[in-house]
Amino acid sequence: MSNKRDWGLDMTDVELLVSLQANRAIFVDYVIVQTLMAAVIVYVAYMFRNFSQLIRASAMIGAIISILSVTFFVTGVQMVFFSSASLMSEMAANGSDLANNFMNTIGQTAGDPVSQPTWLTIFGVIQTLINLALTVYMYMFAKWDS
């Protein structure tokens, strides 16, 4: 009794919509984590200000790994969303009313692939680079007590 559905390869429009909603919930969680993590990085950098350079550098490396990990997870979640939204677009083009309503809601044409706008990609890269640069500065070069 092996068919596509047993292996999760055949998804209905309702299942896909539920998956998209779960994806957005995960995305929001990661955005909250990213925001809180920035505050924690500043706090830890301040608390470690009087430690040796080796300890500060070690904490900085941990912070950088955390920033990159969350960035990669957010990027992965976004890729899954746009891939799923493109599949929903295909379903809309093939006559699914639910998928068609979804595509109309997000302002996309049924049948067209859905992708992240270029400006949003650039914005994410710039944000990550700023976070990394500020982390290095705070842990290694900031003069907290002056």
Residues 17-46 have pLDDT tens digits of: 888 889 999 999 999 999 999 999 999 999
* Enclosing domain of residue 53: 11-140
User: Do 21 and 14 contact (CB within 8 A), yes or no?
Assistant: no
**Does 2 reside within a domain?**
no
**What pLDDT does residue 102 have?**
86
Q: What is the per-residue pLDDT across 106-125, written as a single tens digit (0 to 9) for each?
A: 888 999 999 999 999 999 99
Predicted confidence (pLDDT) at residue 2 exceeds the cutoff of 50: no
**Does 135 reside within a domain?**
yes
Q: Count of domains in the chain? A: 1
In angstroms, the CA 4 to CA 99 distance is 21
Distance of CA 36 to the CA centre of its chain: 14
Arithmetic mean of pLDDT, 45-63 = 97
**Does 5 reside within a domain?**
no
**Does 62 reside within a domain?**
yes
